[in-house]
Amino acid sequence: MKKLFIFSLASATIVLASCGTGSQPPATGADTATTNTVPVTLPDPAAFHDSVDGQPTALYILKNKQISAAITNYGARVVSLLVPDQKGTPTDVVLGYDSIGKYIHQPDTYFGAVVGRYGNRIAKGRFKLDGKQYTLATNNAPNHLHGGNKGFDAVVWTGKQLSDTSLELTYLSKDGEEGYPGNLRVTVIYTLDSDALHVGYAATTDKPTVLNLTNHSYFNLNGQGSGTINNHVLQIFADRYTPVDSTLIPTGKIDSVGGTPFDFRQATAIGARVGDTGNIQIKYGKGYDHNFVLDPAPPVAGALSPRPAAIVRGDLSGIVLSITTDQPGIQFYGGNFLNGTNPLKAGKKDDYRSAFCLETQHYPDSPNEPSFPSTVLKPGEKYATWTYFRLSTK
């Protein structure tokens, strides 16, 4: 698990963002980026003591020399991730709220959450498994999104702090919950490892089911609430992506990114081509909201096959996020539905395109697309996947 791929942006061609924020009018203040002027701290754990569905909620703090993280057992959410910028100033690089009440009452963004059972969309809320039809909530009409009306982001997990740098969260999703078959026992372990946050996922089931877990952190590497991410520079290690229909369901085709705004093989500013509404995929996504097919993993003897997935650099902070995973895909979502209405930590706002998500996962709608890698989990099998989020200024 400690094998890391380190990539440098130095040699890559950088295409700078020349156009503003693309197809939609930005919310006020969204098209500029600013640096933080007030000292950044972790939220107060006392503001997370509550109970949801009779289960106690809490905030857990993980710390090492380089990183501090605050994680709540409500939705297994990363609330804060503090890392030094290029001047050594602590910077909170994920969007979140400063109290449990705000998470409960502003549910639709999935800030920092583990999403499940199925990350991203299942067409029309239907899939067949072993000849039986299952019906799910169409909470993102006409489709099912991120596990339904009450997915894993909105339930209380059992938290157990394993050490100063590690937290275990477990959840039993009962047979039939949100329409999915099988009692599913899920464990997520967050661990700080030097300059990285490692997320490990494990699960077992007592009936065949489908499963696609991911972490839905919204990043702004200049600091949460500090304006546009369009000048962040992004590289995605994918030659191909899965184009979608107008409801964001993959068509089943796997297309080359070559010659399209989806070509991030060379480091490119996120906003450089997001305004290309002549591209039907950008139009359907209202910007970037697409799954990239990660390049095949290089073989690593005796280990899970790690894939370099993406590298992003904050233009003002110099903070670099590099993501490695064993998952076959990554959903790049550019914050197209953020509109400044959610009150972030430290009085900041979640303006239009002021954060991005890079969700390592299987492809959306895989249960209905036999040509995609399978997301079926059977009794006796062990689901085990992981993602590394490395944060540095190199």
> Quick check: 118 binds ligand BGC (CB under 6 A)?
no
- Residue facing ligand BGC at closest CB distance: 333
Which residue from 103, 81, 85 is spatially nearest to 94, judged by alpha carbons?
81
Which of 31, 85, 92, 289 binds ligand BGC (CB under 6 A)? It is 289
User: Is 49 among the catalytic positions?
Assistant: no
Instruction: Tell which phi-psi region holds residue 112, choosing left (phi > 0), alpha (psi between -120 and 50) or beta.
Output: left
For ligand BGC, the closer of residues 121 and 348 by Cβ is 121
Q: Tell the smallest beta-carbon distance from residue 216 to ligand BGC (Å).
A: 6
Map the footprint of ligand BGC across residues 121-160, applying CB under 6 A: 146
Element of type H or E holding 128:
strand 126-129
Please enumerate, as own/partner, the contacts of 103-108 that have beta carbons within 8 Å and a separation of 24 or more.
Answer: 103/72, 103/74, 103/75, 103/77, 104/50, 104/52, 104/74, 106/342, 107/153, 107/154
**Catalytic pick among 144, 146, 216, 290:** 216
- Cis link prior to 56 (omega < 30° from 0)? no
Q: Does 331 bind ligand BGC (CB under 6 A)?
A: yes
Residue 193 to residues 188, 196, 291, 309, 388: CA-CA distances in angstroms? 16, 5, 27, 18, 9
- Using CB under 6 A as the binding rule, whether residue 359 contacts ligand BGC is answered as yes
Report if residue 337 touches ligand BGC, rule: CB under 6 A. Answer: yes
Report the alpha-carbon distance of residue 67 to residue 372 in Å, rounded: 36
Structure tokens at 22: 């693309």
Q: Is 178 a catalytic residue?
A: no
* Token pair recorded at residue 298: 């290089």
Using the rule CB under 6 A, is 110 a contact of ligand BGC? yes
Residues 190-249 that bind ligand BGC (CB under 6 A): 248
167 versus 357: smaller Cβ distance to ligand BGC: 357
Between 147 and 275, name the residue whose CB sits nearer to ligand BGC.
147
Closest distance to ligand BGC from the beta carbon of 189 (Å)? 22
Q: Do 249 and 142 meet the contact criterion of CB atoms below 8 Å apart?
A: no
| Catalytic site positions | 216, 359
Residues that bind ligand BGC (CB under 6 A): 110, 120, 146, 248, 289, 331, 333, 337, 357, 359
